[in-house]
Structure 1
């Protein structure tokens, strides 16, 4: 559902910005005079010497008591919606995974438990200092995001191969999943030299 909401909101925002930019470009380049057409009477920006919001438009509602509370309320609602949209973009941790138990019924596997198991097995690999795993996606199609902190002597190619062929394969097989797409991020641990007095 989040993808659908994102597409609709981005489409509307893009359409609005495109229309606004096209209108300003139309007036700024004086295209209606060059191409021989007229803009509607309500259009505020008719030529290169016009401003988008004139003095009358800026001062029209100043004396009305409802104007500023309405403007502030609309901006507060807009800010709240934008903050909600921003927070909704964060990938949520998967609480449960639905697993086909083989008898036609679905079993539920705790997502945090599977994350812990993958972390422990990845951390046991030679050269891995610390491992962090987060399961995202849908309950029926989870994906793993793995972050590994490597020791200076570690061989990243070997660790990535072991992570893919052993650790993630074990997790996929033990959970009864057909596939477990994953992204791994490897970073080297930095050790600071101790000062000897």
Structure 2
């Protein structure tokens, strides 16, 4: 589910970057003929020594019937648009029910993660394991956080953990697993001298 959002974000960023790159390149490589000393004829001109929109001009705009509803509407629409866009970026949707190769077979990603964590916790030298499974279209991304016993080396547990993830990959037959393991050691308690 993250792919369309990522594609839209990258497309918008690429279009904005390309427009800025082309505009900046044009301005950087152009001489004084591109940037004349005065604005085009259709641009409203400020009076000599004045500003484009002074207090009287702003008061005249505020006196119009359409001004206040237009400003409020544009502000509300911009706020809602940015809020929806922000919430779409924060919310991560993952498929929780994975169809399996067996007819009518399905498994929840949370159940697969719990089973994989329990299986990894049975490996000698592992004191605790936490697993997360993120489902993609054809691939399951498995993240294991494994806590090792104080005298255990990573080489002692990597083989059995690889076997456990291979077992999980066979169980989730149409999917392939991309497993990443993060290892940490349980620290020995230090004796306190009083």
TM beyond 0.5? yes
Coordinate RMSD, CA, aligned: 3.5
Q: Aligned partners of 1:11, 1:57: CA distance in 2, in Å? A: 36
Aligned equivalents of 1:57, 1:74: Cα separation in 2: 25
Q: Alpha-carbon deviation of 1:106?
A: 3.7
* SS of the residue 2:167 aligns to: helix
Distance verdict in 2 for CA 1:42–1:97, change over 3 Å? farther
| The one of 165, 169, 172 aligned to 1:168 | 165
For the residue of structure 2 that corresponds to 1:126, the secondary structure is: coil
Structure 1 unpaired stretches of 5+: 45-54
Deviations 1:15-70 (A, max 9, x none): 2243235435644x4x4435x446994999xxxxxxxxxx5379876733235424
- In the other structure, the counterpart of 1:3 is 3
Of 173, 178, 195, 2:192 maps to: 195
1:122-174 deviation per Cα after TM superposition (whole angstroms, max 9, x unaligned): 1121222211111112375433221112233221123122111x211222234
Aligned residues of 2:109 and 2:134 also touching (Cα < 8 A): no
Q: Could you say which residue in structure 2 is the equivalent of 1:183? A: 180
Q: Distance in 2 between the 1:11 and 1:82 partners?
A: 15
Pick closer, same or farther for the CA change 1:140–1:8 going to 2, 3 Å.
closer
* Per-residue deviation, residues 99-136 of structure 1 (Å, max 9, x unmatched): 112xxx24112332222111111112122221111111
Match of 2:110 in 1: 112
| Larger gyration radius, structure 1 or structure 2 | 2
TM-score (norm 2): 0.70
What residue number does 2:52 align with? 56
Matched residue SS, 2:127? strand
| Length-normalised TM-score, structure 1 | 0.69
1:99 aligns with 2:93: no
Identify unmatched segments of 5+ residues in structure 2.
Answer: 44-50
1:32-111 aligned within 5 A: 32-34=30-32, 36-37=33-34, 41=40, 56=52, 63=62, 64-66=67-69, 68-88=71-91, 90=92, 92=94, 94-101=95-102, 105-111=103-109
Whole-angstrom CA distance in 2 between matches of 1:155 and 1:7: 42
- Pick closer, same or farther for the CA change 1:91–1:145 going to 2, 3 Å: farther
Deviations 1:68-91 (CA, angstroms, capped at 9, x unpaired): 424532441243133223224x47
Partner Cα separation in structure 2 for residue 109 and residue 43 of structure 1: 65
Rounded to whole Å, the distance in 1 between the matches of 2:143 and 2:126 is 16
| Greater RCO, 1 or 2 (C-alpha within 8 Å, sep 6+) | 2
